[in-house]
């Protein structure tokens, strides 16, 4: 039984230490619990047992952070984030936003053409490491949502570790696959869905604009969920990509 399934049912503090001891050796319970929480893993303690918080919270009451990034190279070992935008959803309403350009030594011409971001715009901005520190605090242990999630989440997770900022352990959800399961459309690209669903127009391929559009798509998807989706964890499981079908592209551009 994997860690997620164990934590859905709840584990003792001793069991918690045991199941994470391979990845985090030498920590006492409280230190390990705090580290995982800081890295975004949604944990809670009830009656001296540790639970996965998303398994207990109704999806309507969960906190979500819808994220979009622009990068100067789609390969995370070569590139970096040059813009990050995010919106916080609480009680199924957009409640807050996060928006930063990030310093980079170089922005390739093809990225400039797609995003409109050039290197001069980034000259006096904070470093990726400084912005990721701020983003960690904004994200907290909320559910990370993106369109598609596999690119944005994995790219950011790589950058967190590259900058020695720890792991990115938030539960995450893909609005691309979620929309494929809940919305009738011919195409599921973000710009197409914005038009198809008559959503407010935002600047495409800019981080905050795309995050706002993805957030609105996400809220539309929630209106068409099957009745058996009750908890936030049910929603995360439901939103997982179908195996080998309609797999999201790995490249940002």
86 band by pLDDT with thresholds 50, 70 and 90: very high
Q: Which two tokens stand for residue 217?
A: 């798509």
Measure Cα distances from 3 to 17, 40, 51, 146 in Å. Answer: 11, 15, 10, 24
**What pLDDT is stored for residue 252 in this prediction?**
58
> Which of 48-52, 215-219, 241-245 has the least mean pLDDT?
241-245
pLDDT of residue 242: 74
Beta bridge partners of 45: 50
56-83 average pLDDT score: 98
Q: What pLDDT, on the 0 to 100 scale, is given for residue 253?
A: 58
pLDDT tens by residue, 160-170: 999 999 999 99
Task: Name the pTM for this structure.
Answer: 0.94
Residue 68 pLDDT greater than 70, yes or no: yes
For residue 250, what pLDDT is reported?
Answer: 47
Give 6: exposed, middle or buried? Use CB within 10 Å, 0-12, 13-18, 19+.
middle
Predicted pLDDT at 1: 57
End-to-end CA distance of the chain: 38
Q: Is residue 67 very low, low, confident or very high in pLDDT (cuts 50, 70, 90)?
A: very high
pLDDT at residue 37 is higher than 80: yes
User: CB–CB of 248/174 below 8 Å?
Assistant: yes
Is the predicted pLDDT of residue 82 greater than 60, yes or no?
A: yes
Q: What is the pLDDT of residue 238?
A: 97
Question: How far, in Å, CA of 27 to CA of 149, rounded?
Answer: 31
Q: What is the mean pLDDT of residues 206-215?
A: 97
Task: Summarize the confidence of residues 173-186 as an average pLDDT.
Answer: 96
Section 115-136 average pLDDT: 97
**Domains delineated in the chain:** 3-55 (no CATH), 64-238 (3.30.420.10)
At residue 117, the pLDDT reads 97
SS3 212: helix
pLDDT at 189: 95
């Amino acid at each position: 039984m994997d860690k997620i399934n164990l934590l859905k049912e709840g584990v003792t503090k001793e069991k918690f230490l045991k199941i994470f001891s391979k990845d985090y050796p030498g920590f006492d319970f409280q230190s390990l619990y705090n580290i995982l929480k800081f890295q975004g893993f949604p944990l809670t303690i009830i009656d001296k047992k540790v639970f996965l918080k998303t398994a207990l919270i109704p999806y309507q009451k969960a906190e979500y952070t819808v994220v979009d990034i622009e990068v100067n190279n789609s390969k995370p070992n070569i590139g970096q984030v040059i813009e990050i935008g995010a919106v916080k959803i609480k009680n199924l309403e957009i409640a807050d936003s996060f928006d930063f350009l990030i310093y980079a030594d170089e922005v390739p011409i093809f990225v400039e053409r797609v995003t409109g971001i050039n290197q001069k715009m980034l000259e006096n901005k904070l470093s990726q490491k400084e912005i990721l520190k701020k983003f960690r605090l904004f994200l907290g242990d909320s559910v990370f949502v993106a369109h598609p999630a596999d690119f944005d989440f994995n790219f950011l997770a790589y950058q967190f570790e590259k900058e020695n900022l720890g792991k990115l352990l938030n539960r995450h959800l893909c609005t691309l696959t979620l929309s494929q399961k809940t919305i009738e459309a011919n195409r599921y690209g973000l710009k197409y869905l914005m038009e198809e669903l008559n959503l407010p127009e935002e600047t495409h391929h800019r981080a905050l604009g795309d995050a706002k559009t993805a957030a609105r798509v996400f809220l539309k998807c929630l209106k068409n969920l099957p009745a058996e989706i009750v908890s936030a964890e049910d929603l995360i499981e439901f939103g997982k990509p179908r195996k080998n079908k309609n797999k999201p592209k790995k490249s940002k551009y």
